[in-house]
Amino acid sequence: MIPEIGHFALWLAAAAALLQAVAPTVGLWRNDAGLQRLAVPAAVAQGLFTALAFAALTWAFVVSDFSVKLVAANSHSMKPDMYRFTGVWANHEGSLLLWVLVMALAGLAIAFTPATLGSRFRDRVLSVQGLVALGFFAFLLLASNPFERLSPAPTEGQGLNPLLQDPGLAFHPPLLYAGYVGLSVAFAFAVGGMLENRVGPAWARATRPWVLGAWALLTLGIALGSYWAYYELGWGGWWFWDPVENAALMPWLAATALLHSLVVVMKRDALRAWTLLLAVAAFSLSMMGTFIVRSGLLTSVHAFAVDPARGLFLVVLMALYIGGALTIYALAAGRVAEGRQFHLVSRESVLVANNLLISAILGVVFLGTLYPMALEAATGTQISVGPPYFNRTTLPLLLAMTALMAVGPFLGWKRSGTGHLAARLLPAGAAAAVFVLVAAWPFGVRGVGWLLGFGAAAWLGAASLSMLLRKGVTLAIAGMALAHLGVAISILGATASGALQREALVALRVGDAVELGPWRAELLDVRPVAGPNWTAIEAQLEVKREGHRGAVLKPQSRMFVAPAQETTESGRAGWRTGELYAVLGKPDGSGRWQVHLWVKPMVRLIWWGGLLMAFGGLLALGGKLRAFAPHKWRRQLARPAQGAA
Amino acid sequence: MNRRLILLLPLLLFAGLLIFMAGNLGKPQEAVVRSHMVGKPVADFALEGVAGAPGLAASDLASGKPVLVNIFASWCLPCAVEAPQLQALKDKGATLHGIAVRDTPEKVAAFLARHGNPFQRIGNDDGGRMLIAFGASGVPETYVVDGEGIIRHQHLGEIRPEHVPELLAELEKAR
Amino acid sequence: MAVARPRKQQRLVLALVALAVLAAAGVIAMFALEDTAAYFRAPADIEANPPAPGETFRLGGLVKPGSVGRSDDGLTLLFTVTDMKAETSASYRGLVPDLFREGQGVIATGRLDASGHFEAEQLLAKHDENYMPPEVAKALEGTGHPMDKTAAKGG
């Protein structure tokens, strides 16, 4: 019964989305205030019904109602409670339902945040948002119904891919989706801005909080996904340039560029057309990311749905939305006169340059991700483009960007002198020199790339810190400086863990030891252990360093009950900001066990940096919201007067 | 440079991309793969029995009359879904043999106790080698093997009620 | 010095710089693609047209049943990749993926040595029961076996 209620609620939510899309559009067109005013109640209805549908599916998962096909195919009564719950979105249909839920909640948020650009603009944005949501409701209801029943109901479910039974991956999709959906709001603002011809500083101020929030959530989601891949896949790496990873990275890059170009619109009323294009591109890339993951067009380690019919549906949706937005862009952006001019040495031009570099990174990632598909379609040749390509193309661009990121915040708007720069960048320059020397001499790092990485991290880190220490720091500036510091810390983590890593692949008997630089690892024991729905072989590997307390790593080889599958669990222990990381392989038949051991200095800084970036974004967002507050009170005070009139 | 043209450029690029993606969609890209063994004799094998049923060997398949070979596992949901259809096939006179892949005898026995045992012989293939011998890409799959032990037909995925007459017709054809 | 550039000229400079950066990135990207892209080959492709020793490519096929062994140091996995038409002997030094099994699909990235033996740097195994890497499926198809894919959507 409850699944049917959920199904029905989903139809009602779709109807509300239809109303939200059509009523304000017709109202605005025919100047019918009554129709136009339906936008807000429609958004509320859409939010409530979608939440109800989501609650119904969650209920089916939590009580293990295997008569629902989705539950039977993706859950199991023996699964731990938390994964029965997160199992809701660890599959195609459920994740789409989560997508529309977040989208509906964003609609609610638009309806209830103060309409700084007027109610007309808010209703326009809501109608665009409703139109986008409508497509995804159609996709859910017509091509991937999560409430489909199974008859006869099986007595037991098929289980959830053990790789997905993990806290890291359980909360990775909701974060990413919330980020994508935040970008859908920016998309709606861009389309609304073009239709209403409102693109300008006020529009940028209204759009930017959404982009900030979306960007922070995407940053968190990507950092979490990278951390998951690091400890769960057991390959010792933290970024694999896998198409699925690239699919999340590309919207993030576009959002980063958008975040910075919006500032230029806000402060200087320049770069309008470019900013609009970025806003459209950021959400388009989010949809394309979903398309890439869901359609199975790419061979990937973690694509988990393969269905061409659904792919076709998504292509049609994208054609409508992206094609429509770009058509409006081609027609309306010409009306959006470019704003004021600025000098080549100014904050604006550095932001433009960084936008350009981010776009170039986006371009090469896009090319590397899609080129194999294009080549196969054109010639039938199958190739794979991997880390060597992406590292070679993106890292130089990233390096140039880091160099500029330290300089930009010290420049003035419009036209800037350069006399003060030398003094302000002195700490950064000194820090970079010290880091490079220390890395090269006591630590013996060789290779220009690694040394440049250390230098860039120190350069940007020191510049961001000195920004924080200046007088008159606002929340917005602090957020920016912290986010930049986060980038520096991530670069430091990535460089140090790569340049100073030690690695050993050995076959050990119990009692054997292996030396790894100053470290010594001894295999103490290998024994079976059991978990809630798995059994495992667990090794106990004691890793010690002269004069320090040792740590015992416990890598496992797990056998899951449902579905029957093996996974590798890495054994890890922290050492300062670095990690000791071990993976247990198979026995070789003569009593030896394969063990892959890494020492990765400062590797945790990669994700700490990601967290700091997201925190910086949220801090800047906090600054915006505070600016909202008095405005809202003013409006509420003014409202009764309007009603009387 | 013409400004209008520049503003049109993103749309044109996207249109190109879309055409390419739509073209890619048109191509079949199913992950399931038809067996390349259809029309060929089953490679020689001999599996031990399980759940009280006698074992299955290649010689049992070349018995002079066509049989159905069902590849299943207790951990496979569609295998449970297709159980009534297997029973229906048996009731209509078909001879069924099973191959349990990557499973334990206890779980196979429990599975058959719950969903019924339509099989005459069941081979226990804990290594999953028979998947390659039959050219299967997953479970469940069902094969029609003729009287000389040659694979005549492959059915991918679970057998739904509408597939039962289809399989009976294939059995008839293999006679 | 302090004279602001005329708007047109400023925009032209900006556009030219932007174009130069993007063009440079594009050229670097194309060269990098040329250098680093790994082609996909099945054993039959190698037999028909052997790649130069040292070229990195992806070898795909099925792990031949009964072919998996281990070298004396306990670290190197020896196996044979087959596409039912030809076979390539391969080795991999490292931990074997959980899903690596005899009779299953596998994709290995690596290079041939002078004797035609494939040394893998990375192994990807089939992901689950109902999923075969599309490349492996295609390689099997390309060998001329009477195998057709289920064509749910035209083709």
Residues A372 and A295 grouped into a single domain: yes
pLDDT tops 60 at residue A324: yes
Residues A188 and A310 grouped into a single domain: yes
Alpha-carbon distances of C26 from A5, A250, A258, A360, C35, rounded to whole Å:
53, 17, 22, 8, 14
Residue A597, pLDDT score = 93
Asked if A48 is an interface residue toward chain B (Cβ–Cβ < 8 A), one would say no
> What residues of chain A lie within 8 A of the CB of B3, using their CB?
334
Residue A153, pLDDT score = 76
Number of domains in chain A: 4
Range of the domain at C13: 7-37
Residue B129, pLDDT score = 72
> What residues of chain A lie within 8 A of the CB of C13, using their CB?
344
Number of domains in chain B: 1
Residue A520, pLDDT score = 92
* Distance from the B150 Cα atom to the nearest Cα atom in chain A, whole angstroms: 31
CATH number at residue B85: 3.40.30.10
* Residue bearing the bigger pLDDT, A626 or C1: A626
Six-digit token pair at B118?
Answer: 């339509």
The answer as to whether C60 is a domain residue is yes
Range of the domain at A568: 508-600
**Minimum mean pLDDT range among B106-120, C53-67, C124-138:** C124-138
pLDDT tops 70 at residue A424: yes
* Residue bearing the bigger pLDDT, A43 or B78: A43
> What residues of chain C lie within 8 A of the CB of A510, using their CB?
none
Other chains touching A, judged by 3 or more CB pairs under 8 Å = B, C
Six-digit token pair at A35?
Answer: 């129709």
Which amino acid is residue A201, in one-letter code?
P
Residue C10, pLDDT score = 67
- Of A98, A125, A156, which residue is a domain's last? A156
Range of the domain at B94: 46-173
Residue A234, pLDDT score = 78
> What residues of chain A lie within 8 A of the CB of C68, using their CB?
none
Six-digit token pair at A352?
Answer: 């433009």
Chain C, nearest residue to B129 by Cα:
C103
Residue C148, pLDDT score = 25
> What residues of chain C lie within 8 A of the CB of A594, using their CB?
74-75, 95-96
- Alpha-carbon distance B159 to B86, whole Å? 8
pLDDT tops 80 at residue A376: no
Residues A108 and A79 grouped into a single domain: yes
Residues C91 and C104 grouped into a single domain: yes
- Alpha-carbon distance B154 to B4, whole Å? 57
Residues C111 and C101 grouped into a single domain: yes
Residues A471 and A576 grouped into a single domain: no
Q: Please tell me which of the candidates B28, B127, B128 has its beta carbon nearest to residue C153.
A: B28
Subunit contact B137:C132, Cβ cutoff 8 A: yes
The answer as to whether A296 is a domain residue is yes
Mean pLDDT of A54-61: 94
Residues A104 and A232 grouped into a single domain: no
Residue C149, pLDDT score = 27
Contacts of C154 (CB under 8 A, 6+ apart): B26, B28
The answer as to whether C148 is a domain residue is no
pLDDT tops 50 at residue B87: yes
Chain C, nearest residue to B78 by Cα:
C130
pLDDT tens per residue across span A253-297: 999 999 999 999 998 888 888 999 999 999 999 988 776 665 544
pLDDT tops 50 at residue A300: no
Confidence band of B138 (pLDDT split at 50, 70, 90): low
* Distance from the B130 Cα atom to the nearest Cα atom in chain C, whole angstroms: 8
The answer as to whether B30 is a domain residue is no
pLDDT tens per residue across span A70-115: 888 778 787 788 888 888 888 778 888 999 999 999 999 999 988 8
Asked if A164 is an interface residue toward chain B (Cβ–Cβ < 8 A), one would say no
Subunit contact A323:B11, Cβ cutoff 8 A: yes
Residue contacts between B and C (CB atoms, under 8 Å): 73
pLDDT tops 90 at residue A144: no
Chain C, nearest residue to B131 by Cα:
C103
The answer as to whether A416 is a domain residue is no
Contacts of A275 (CB under 8 A, 6+ apart): A199, A204, A258, A261, A262, A264, A265
Residues A219 and A300 grouped into a single domain: yes
The answer as to whether B3 is a domain residue is no
Residues C48 and C109 grouped into a single domain: yes
- Which of B34, B131, B139, B156 is best to mutate for the C interface (most C CBs within 10 A)? B34
Q: For residue A126, what is the enclosing H or E element?
A: helix A119-138
Q: What are phi and psi of A604, to 5 degrees?
A: -65, -20
pLDDT tops 50 at residue C130: no
- Alpha-carbon distance A413 to A342, whole Å? 8
Residues A150 and A61 grouped into a single domain: yes
Residue B25, pLDDT score = 57
Other chains touching C, judged by 3 or more CB pairs under 8 Å = A, B
Round the average pLDDT of chain B to a whole number and report it: 81
Mean pLDDT of C37-46: 86
Residues 240-259 of A with CB under 8 A from C: none
Q: Hey, what's the torsion of the CAs at A431, A435, A441, A442, to 10 degrees?
A: 110
pLDDT tops 50 at residue C138: no
* Distance from the B20 Cα atom to the nearest Cα atom in chain A, whole angstroms: 7
The answer as to whether A592 is a domain residue is yes
Round the average pLDDT of chain A to a whole number and report it: 86
The answer as to whether C78 is a domain residue is yes
Most confident among A130-139, A146-155, A382-391, C13-22 (mean pLDDT): A130-139
**What percent of chain A has a predicted confidence (pLDDT) above 70?**
90
Residue C80, pLDDT score = 92
Subunit contact A374:B15, Cβ cutoff 8 A: no
Chain B, nearest residue to A292 by Cα:
B21
The answer as to whether C118 is a domain residue is yes
> What residues of chain B lie within 8 A of the CB of A379, using their CB?
none
**Minimum mean pLDDT range among A82-91, A132-141, B36-45, C19-28:** B36-45
Number of domains in chain C: 2
The answer as to whether B127 is a domain residue is yes
The answer as to whether A161 is a domain residue is no
Chain B, nearest residue to C153 by Cα:
B28
> What residues of chain B lie within 8 A of the CB of A329, using their CB?
7, 10-11
- Alpha-carbon distance A372 to A375, whole Å? 5
pLDDT tens per residue across span B17-28: 877 766 665 554
Sign of the dihedral defined by the CA atoms of residues A340, A344, A349, A354, in that order: positive
The answer as to whether A412 is a domain residue is no
**What percent of chain A has a predicted confidence (pLDDT) above 90?**
53
Residues A217 and A235 grouped into a single domain: yes
Residue A309, pLDDT score = 66
pLDDT tops 70 at residue A645: no
Residue A20, pLDDT score = 96
Asked if A72 is an interface residue toward chain B (Cβ–Cβ < 8 A), one would say yes
In three-state form (DSSP H/G/I as H, E/B as E, the rest C), the secondary structure along A173-207 is HHHHHHHHHHHHHHHHHHHHHHHHCCCCHHHHHHH
Q: For residue C40, what is the enclosing H or E element?
A: strand C38-41
Residues A231 and A124 grouped into a single domain: no
Most confident among A1-5, A334-338, B81-85 (mean pLDDT): A1-5
Residue A642, pLDDT score = 40
Residues C50 and C98 grouped into a single domain: yes
> What residues of chain B lie within 8 A of the CB of C22, using their CB?
none
Subunit contact B18:A563, Cβ cutoff 8 A: no
Q: Please tell me which of the candidates A341, A388, A586 has its beta carbon nearest to residue C4.
A: A341
Six-digit token pair at B90?
Answer: 């048996």
Mean pLDDT of A451-476: 92
pLDDT tens per residue across span A597-623: 999 999 999 999 999 999 999 999 987
- Alpha-carbon distance A186 to A277, whole Å? 11
* Distance from the B27 Cα atom to the nearest Cα atom in chain C, whole angstroms: 5
Residue B40, pLDDT score = 81
- Which of C83, C130, C138 is best to mutate for the B interface (most B CBs within 10 A)? C130
pLDDT tens per residue across span A28-38: 999 988 899 99
* Residue bearing the bigger pLDDT, A180 or A626: A180
Subunit contact B10:A564, Cβ cutoff 8 A: no
The answer as to whether B141 is a domain residue is yes
The answer as to whether A364 is a domain residue is yes
Q: Please tell me which of the candidates C7, C22, C75 has its beta carbon nearest to residue A360.
A: C22
CATH number at residue C133: 2.40.50.140
Subunit contact A392:C32, Cβ cutoff 8 A: yes
* Residue bearing the bigger pLDDT, A171 or A49: A49
Subunit contact C95:A568, Cβ cutoff 8 A: yes
Confidence band of C134 (pLDDT split at 50, 70, 90): very low
Q: Which residues pair with A523 in a beta bridge?
A: A541
Residues 16-75 of A with CB under 8 A from C: none
Residue A220, pLDDT score = 95
Residues C97 and C30 grouped into a single domain: no
Mean pLDDT of B108-114: 87
Residues A249 and A312 grouped into a single domain: yes
Residue A554, pLDDT score = 94
Residues C52 and C95 grouped into a single domain: yes
- Alpha-carbon distance B140 to B78, whole Å? 7
Q: In what order do the strands lie in the sheet with B151-156?
A: B121-125, B96-101, B67-72, B141-145, B151-156
